[in-house]
Each structure stands twice: as C-alpha cells, then as structure tokens.
Amino acid sequence: MVKKISQKASEKQLQEKIKKLRKELEEKTDLAEERFTQLKYLQADFENYRKKFEKERENIIELSNEKLIKELLVILDDFERALQSIKDEKNKEGLRLLYQKFFKILEQQGLKKIKTVDKKFDSYYHDVISKEKSKKDDGTILNEIQSGYMLKSKIIRHSKVKVADNKTKIDVGNKNE
C-alpha cells in the first residue's frame, strides 16, 4: 500500500512536472513565435529601407544629371541659333552634324524636346511670350521662340511660344468690298 501511495505520489509529481514542462514549452513557443514575427517585421523594414535608399540614390543621380543637362541646354540653344545664322551650306552641314551628335547624347540621358508648332497651347508644357491674330484656331501655337525640354517625364524648361489669338475678329477678306 505504501508502494501504491508512493507510486501515486510519484505519478502526481510526474504529471505536475509534465504540466510545468508543457507550460514552459508553450511559453517558449510563444516567445519563439513572437521573436520570429519580430524578425519578419525587421526583415520587411530592412527591405523597405533598402528600396527607399535605392530610389533616393537614383533620384540623386537623376537630379545631378538634370542640373548638368539644364546647363547644357544653353549650348543646345547656341547651336540652334548658329545653325540659323550660318549661310555657308558646308559649314552649316558640319555644325548640324555636331548638333545632332550632341542632342543624341542628351537624348540617351532622357532629354526630349517638347513639340510646339501647330499644337494647341498647354500651360503644362508652354509659356506664352506673345499672342498674334491668325487664321489658325485660337490657342494654336504659331511660333516657337525658345525650345522646351523634358528630362524623362519631368519638364526642365517650358517652351516659350507665340500663340494665335482670335478673340477679336480679323477681316481676312478684301477690304474694298
């Protein structure tokens, strides 16, 4: 009987020990799951940080390109004025080839010229320098005074344009009638 009591006591102790071990295991499992969740969040935060850093790095590179390209637009303008003023066709052709090479290099960096003539005025792309009465529809661009450019999808210089202004009626017919 003493053996049975002792056996029951020992079984009870074992069950309590098992219960205690299960509780410890459950606590440790919960702690491990909590740490694993924290690790996943840290990993996601690090991945977001890395992506943000890469994007900022790309933006810095683009901004430095933008500054350089804006400064080079002055040379592009000089090329265009020189092409208009040179009379000698041989010299003009040589200068045109240089201009095309230079512009192609800038295009490879993402520069695009904004199209203007015969387009409708759009304040997002164009700045009106003057208005002129014309047979064309009101707001149609008649002449480009200074070229505008985009770098990738960002406007770095608006086109300076002359637009048609037909708010007042123009008599385009014969005045003697």
Instruction: For residue range 125-161, list pLDDT tens digits in order.
Output: 999 999 988 888 888 999 999 999 999 888 999 999 9
Looking at CATH, the fold of the domain delimited by 113-177 is given as Nucleotide Exchange Factor Grpe; Chain A, domain 2 (2.30.22)
The residues spanned by each domain of the chain are: 1-109, 113-177
CA separation (Å) from 88 to 102, 124, 137, 145? 21, 38, 37, 24
Instruction: For residue range 76-135, list pLDDT tens digits in order.
Output: 999 999 998 988 888 899 999 999 999 999 999 889 999 998 899 999 999 999 998 888
CATH 3.90.20 fits 1-109, yes or no: yes
Instruction: For residue range 3-17, list pLDDT tens digits in order.
Output: 666 777 788 888 999
Q: Do residues 81 and 75 touch, judged by C-beta distance below 8 A? A: no
- Check residue 148 and report its DSSP letter: -
3-state SS assignment for residue 96 = helix
Let me know if the fold of 1-109 is the same as that of 113-177.
Answer: no
Q: Do residues 132 and 165 touch, judged by C-beta distance below 8 A? A: yes
